[in-house]
Structure 1
Amino acid sequence: MRTTIGEFLLDRLKTVGITEIIGVPGDFNLNLLEQVDEAEGIRFVGTCNELNAAYAADGYARSRGLSALLTTYGVGELSALNGIAGAAAEHVPLISIAGAPPLYATEDRYALHHTMADGNFSDMLASIGQFTAAAVRITPMNAVEEIDRALHTCLREKRPVHIQLPSDISHLTIEVPDTPFDATLPTSDPERLESAAERILEMFGNAQRPVILADLDADRHGFVPALQAIAEKTRTPYAHLSSGRGTLNEQHPLYLGTYNGAGSSPAVREAVENSDFLITTTPRFIEGNSGAFTHQLPEEALLDFGDQHVSIQGEHYVGITVLELLDILLERIPAATSKDLEPAPEQPEWIVQEDSPLTQERMWPRFSRFLRSDDVVIAEAGTSNIGLGAQTFPANSRYINSSIWGSIGFTLPALLGSQLAAPERRHILFIGDGSFQLTAQELSTILREDQAPIIVLVNNRGYTIERFILGMNSGYNDVANWSYGDLPKVFRPDTTMVSYSASTEGELEEALASIEASDAGAFLEVHLDPEDAPAGLQSFGPMTADFDYGPRGPRNP
């Protein structure tokens, strides 16, 4: 079968479930965009800049399982690199495609625009290759092999990959396989699979205090349904790291809470650290999710599910597709025979203090009551993430946050991408004013695409998380106080998005009631004191300062 290189690439993207390519046009990718316009079942969604496009592609992949990003050579690729690196850190599968200079110009080392004008065309691939699982330049001879290799790598490793497509080859015809792309993972080695299953079942049978501790890889590799089912079948309690929020059901009586080393509640810390059979999903401990590295997991009782292996008490079993292993365990593991669990306690009735100014202490519990099952909740790094961190999410909700990379401004474009991937779900974004100003222009794309999210902008006049680390009253932590509520109509004069503003609990109640009664998008600005913060942030700030600056730092002159 014969087709063009561009059509082959687009067909492969459609096969793996991608219906939107997010990016920015440039002269080296316009030829591919012409082919996108002609293709059925896939379209291009342009963003305001390449960094926002990468953030949006990250959000798309978290809700769809895979995404595609399109930039142009050099200036576009490097502009997107922060977002690509964030996807790598957060284990998000993203296919980055860049239109590249013509192949003849590359081979003859032309000095071109968007380059260093030195004839070096390997520098961009080398730069981006540091943050991707594969980075390749396509030629007519390697197109089929390298495109399929990149897609397989992205799906298997749950990391970004990067493909440079020279501008003069997209319309060239090549011979391609007449079989569809197979996205299934390889099967396990039978002996290793059976040996691992037998040993795990033995450990489970002997355990008196089993616990499951989930991190973000449980979501990325599709382990969540099986882990939830195993927990419920065996009555095994479970917790998560703060970087693993939104994985297992937080409304279930088996849910313990968040494990954060010494920063955990005593009950959660006791259950995790004294478990005689602790099941993990390759947790990655940073200072923010480990209580400043105070975590203490019982290594002698540890079972860790990796992406393509399991580790049992330090012994590695390789050659295993873990989803197959989880299916076997769920089938063979004995069901618990203990009495029924007590239902999770209901939240007490919320009593509004009508004229009271909004505070961090009361605002976040109120917002947790506003959330409902199947919501996609997106929280900016800093105040919003920490404020929501103490709350419990509804069942079947998805939580999107840059918990490891922590790039502020990520969430507004991620909201755009997630809504493109899952338009049937209600999306709610919580973002601070400082973070919003980094990527605010992407609100225009959200409105252009007729999306109707609920955006909660926390206006506390600057970088609150930074204030509690250092410089509470310093000008470097201030931002300009925009007329935020006017922006929807600035970006789209005929928008149906409704703006709200709340400074008191009564005003917040009125706004939330109106939002609940409407299908229109909402832009809710809440006003708080710049020196107010969630309790978790008030302790996080000094801890971070001590870690960052040491005993002779500016906090301890």
Structure 2
Amino acid sequence: MRMLIGDYLIRRLAEAGISHLFGVPGDFNLSFLEQVEAAPSVSFVGNCNELNAAYAADGYARTAGLCGLVTTLGVGDLGAISGIAGAYAERVPFVHITGIPPLHAVESRALLHHTLADGGYGNIGRCMAEYTVAQARLTPANAVEEIDRVLQACWRERRPVHLQLPSDITHLSIEVPDAPLVLEDSQGDAEQVALAAEHIATRLAAARHPVMILDADVDRFGTASLVADLAERGVIACVATAPAKAVLDETAPYYLGGYVGAASRPDIRELVSQSDCVIGLGLRFTEINTGFFTQKIRPEAFINILAHEVSLAGRSIPAAPMAAVLKALLAKLSPSTRTLPARPATGAASAPGQGDDALTHAALWPRVAAFLREGDVIIGEAGTSNTALLGTAFPQKTRYIAQPIWGAIGYTLPALFGSYMGSPERRHILFIGDGSFQLTVQELSSILRHGQKPIIFLLNNKGYTIERLILGERSRYNDIANWRYAALPHAFDREDKALSLVVERVSELEDALKQAEQADKAVFIELILPEMDAPEALKRFGIAVADYDYGPTGPRNASTQTHAQKG
């Protein structure tokens, strides 16, 4: 069987479940994009720039599965690289395809545009190798083997991969296999899986107060339902790190809340520190997950079920993948007679503020919690929004998108675009700060161009409040231009596809939420908030960051020093 190389790549992408490619056209990828244009199985989605395209691919992959990113050599690749690195850090898989100059130019070291004009063509590949799990420069001789190898690695590791496609080979014909590409998770070694499951089952049987700590890999490797079954059968309490927010049903009796080391709720902090069996699920001890490394877990009690292996009190059991181990463990585990820890009572107290009161965070977030509904995709920008949402209980079947590990501000607006593209049947709600919005604002035009209907809350507190809480409360470097944000949907679109509102008072917020519920178009709500107002958790976070980053003799905000002393 013979196919054109570009058509074969498209076929393999489709067989891997990829139906959307985000990106920006450039002369070195146009020959491939012509083939995409003609293909019924894959669609190209243009973005305003390559960074936004990478963020959109990330958002899509979190809710809809594998997708692709298309750029052109040099300027396009480096424009996208922060988004690719973020996906690597957060373990989000997509396929990066970059059009490069023709093979004859590469081999003759021709001095072309989009290069450093030094004849070198390996620099971009070396950059991308740092932030992808597999890479290849395609040629007619290696295309079949390398395309399959790289796609398999993308799926196996749930991280980005990088393919360089020379512009002069897309329309060359090669021999290709008839068999379709099948992406399968490794089942590991049966004996190692059984050994790990036996050890964990024995530990659980003897444990009085076991607890599972979830991290992002539970979502990325599709094991949330297995974890829920294990929690129910074994009567095991569950807590989640920030990257695993809403991976489990937060209304379930076994789910206790979020875990952030010493900054956790007191009952959760005590449960983890005193537990005789702590099971991590892909757990990474980052400063975000541990409250700046303040976790207290007894080493002899700790088991970490990782993507491809299990760590038992420091002893590694290789070839024991998470899904296979959880399935084997469920088969061994007998129902338990333990009782779950009691959760603190949560009263239905009315939200602060009313009528003409100025809008504050204290008034905002309880009303937001009441506005959320089952099945929503909720997206929280780094800083104020993410901090508040991490402390908000979500309804069933909610999906939460944030980037707590990489933490690139501006990520969420393009991620919203990508997620909506992949799952348009779900209501999407974005909470983003004014400073973050200014980094990637162009993608608002893509959202409107494609007729998407998200609800966007723009938190306008006149600058980088999270940075002000760390340092520079009154410093000019934390100031930004105060745009007319609510006017931007009309500037970016000529067809009046969005309802724009400005909210300064509590009554206006309540009215805006009602309008958002009823609107059959995109909704953009600018929330005017006090400059230094923030959720209490964010204020504490700012102090912790300053302590960690600058040391005991470093600079501090006078107001936060006072706050810390009182706390």
1:199-219 deviations in Å (ceiling 9; x for gaps):
221111111111010011111
CA 2–377 in structure 1, closer or farther in 2 if over 3 Å, else same: same
What are the residue-to-residue correspondences of 1:101-250 with 2, within 5 Å? 101-250=101-250
Q: Find out whether 1:427 has 2:428 as its counterpart.
A: yes
Which whole-Å CA distance do the structure 1 matches of 2:42 and 2:346 have between them? 44
Match of 1:449 in 2: 450
Which whole-Å CA distance do the structure 2 matches of 1:286 and 1:340 have between them? 27
Which whole-Å CA distance do the structure 2 matches of 1:556 and 1:51 have between them? 33
Which whole-Å CA distance do the structure 1 matches of 2:469 and 2:181 have between them? 51
Instruction: State the Cα distance separating 1:353 from its structure 2 match.
Output: 1.2
Is the CA contact (8 Å cut-off) linking 1:350 and 1:366 kept in structure 2? no
| SS class of match (2:289) | coil
The residue type equivalent to 2:207 in the other structure is A
Q: Return 334-343 or 383-392, whichever deviates more.
A: 334-343
| SS class of match (1:471) | coil
Which whole-Å CA distance do the structure 1 matches of 2:382 and 2:552 have between them? 26
Instruction: State the Cα distance separating 1:409 from its structure 2 match.
Output: 0.4
1:287-342 deviations in Å (ceiling 9; x for gaps):
23312211122221122111111122222211223212212222331123468998
Instruction: State the Cα distance separating 1:237 from its structure 2 match.
Output: 0.8
Match of 1:85 in 2: 85
The residue type equivalent to 1:317 in the other structure is I
Q: Find out whether 1:549 has 2:550 as its counterpart.
A: yes
Instruction: State the Cα distance separating 1:544 from its structure 2 match.
Output: 1.1
Which whole-Å CA distance do the structure 2 matches of 1:356 and 1:150 have between them? 57
Is the CA contact (8 Å cut-off) linking 1:224 and 1:247 kept in structure 2? yes
| SS class of match (1:149) | helix
The residue type equivalent to 2:370 in the other structure is R
Q: Find out whether 1:480 has 2:481 as its counterpart.
A: yes
The two structures, once aligned, show a CA RMSD in angstroms of 1.7
Which whole-Å CA distance do the structure 2 matches of 1:307 and 1:428 have between them? 30
Match of 1:411 in 2: 412
Match of 2:354 in 1: 353
Instruction: State the Cα distance separating 1:343 from its structure 2 match.
Output: 9.5
Which whole-Å CA distance do the structure 2 matches of 1:392 and 1:160 have between them? 31
Q: What TM-score does the superposition give when structure 1 sets the normalisation length? A: 0.97
Is the CA contact (8 Å cut-off) linking 1:458 and 1:526 kept in structure 2? yes
Is the CA contact (8 Å cut-off) linking 2:471 and 2:557 kept in structure 1? no
Which whole-Å CA distance do the structure 2 matches of 1:261 and 1:72 have between them? 43
Q: Find out whether 1:46 has 2:46 as its counterpart.
A: yes
Q: Percentage identity across aligned positions?
A: 49
1:162-188 deviations in Å (ceiling 9; x for gaps):
000000001111111111101012332
Match of 1:530 in 2: 531
Is the CA contact (8 Å cut-off) linking 2:365 and 2:388 kept in structure 1? yes
Is the CA contact (8 Å cut-off) linking 2:188 and 2:320 kept in structure 1? yes
1:85-133 deviations in Å (ceiling 9; x for gaps):
1111111111111000001110111111000111100001001111111
Match of 2:563 in 1: none
The residue type equivalent to 2:109 in the other structure is R
| SS class of match (1:428) | strand
CA 69–498 in structure 1, closer or farther in 2 if over 3 Å, else same: same
Match of 1:515 in 2: 516
| SS class of match (1:523) | strand
CA 61–344 in structure 1, closer or farther in 2 if over 3 Å, else same: farther
Which whole-Å CA distance do the structure 1 matches of 2:278 and 2:271 have between them? 9
Q: Find out whether 1:327 has 2:327 as its counterpart.
A: yes
Q: Find out whether 1:56 has 2:56 as its counterpart.
A: yes
Q: What stretches of structure 2 of length at least 5 have no aligned partner? A: 559-567
Q: Return 435-444 or 486-495, whichever deviates more.
A: 486-495
Q: What TM-score does the superposition give when structure 2 sets the normalisation length? A: 0.95
Is the CA contact (8 Å cut-off) linking 1:252 and 1:344 kept in structure 2? no
Is the CA contact (8 Å cut-off) linking 1:447 and 1:495 kept in structure 2? no
Which whole-Å CA distance do the structure 1 matches of 2:276 and 2:344 have between them? 25
Which whole-Å CA distance do the structure 1 matches of 2:340 and 2:325 have between them? 28
Residue correspondences, number: 557
Which whole-Å CA distance do the structure 2 matches of 1:285 and 1:325 have between them? 21
Which whole-Å CA distance do the structure 1 matches of 2:520 and 2:271 have between them? 43
Which whole-Å CA distance do the structure 1 matches of 2:209 and 2:341 have between them? 16
Which whole-Å CA distance do the structure 2 matches of 1:86 and 1:267 have between them? 33
Which whole-Å CA distance do the structure 2 matches of 1:346 and 1:300 have between them? 34
The residue type equivalent to 1:386 in the other structure is T
Instruction: State the Cα distance separating 1:535 from its structure 2 match.
Output: 0.2
Match of 1:34 in 2: 34
Which whole-Å CA distance do the structure 2 matches of 1:350 and 1:33 have between them? 55
